[in-house]
Amino acid sequence: MGGDSAADGTISNKLRSVTINVVNESGKPTDELNGTNDANTPVVGGTLEAVLECAATAAAECEVSNYNFTWQMADAGTPDKFTDLNNTNAEKHKYIIKGTEQNKLFRVHVTPKTTKATPENKRAIRR
């Protein structure tokens, strides 16, 4: 089996890129409340959404249900020290920003779910 990162007959890398879209509540952010009115600034109550872009394969391979998502956060003062977040959202490719998480840096780690079936155990045969 060939393809990007092929190993043991499983193609594990079908994504070209992952983009994080910011979807804030209507009318947010504001200069008064958030110090900016840039719509791409994540604020409390807003949603971060991982958007997957496929490599040259069928679009079905980029369905979010085929991947695991780990959302992470870091302080601006220590941007190289990310910690995993507990995502309680039913849609794991989305993360809702909580009150203590405003003015932080976010990233998402995306990995393919394992779909390869475990091979059956084979018995040794003596003749």
Render pLDDT for 44-84 as a digit per residue (tens, 0 to 9).
Answer: 999 999 999 887 666 677 889 989 999 999 987 888 899 99
pLDDT at 3 over 50: no
Which residues pair with residue 49 across a beta bridge? 21, 94
In the structure, what pLDDT confidence band is assigned to residue 12 with cuts at 50, 70 and 90?
A: low
DSSP track, the chain:
--STTEETTEE---EEEEEEEEEPPTT-S-HHHHS---TTS--TT-EEEEEEEE-SS-GGGG-GGGEEEEEEEE-TTSTT--EE-----SSTTEEEPPGGGTT-EEEEEEEEPP-PPPPPP------
- Provide the pLDDT for residue 30: 83
Q: pTM for this structure? A: 0.73
In the structure, what pLDDT confidence band is assigned to residue 6 with cuts at 50, 70 and 90?
A: very low
Between 77 and 5, the higher pLDDT residue: 77
The overall average pLDDT reported for the chain is 81
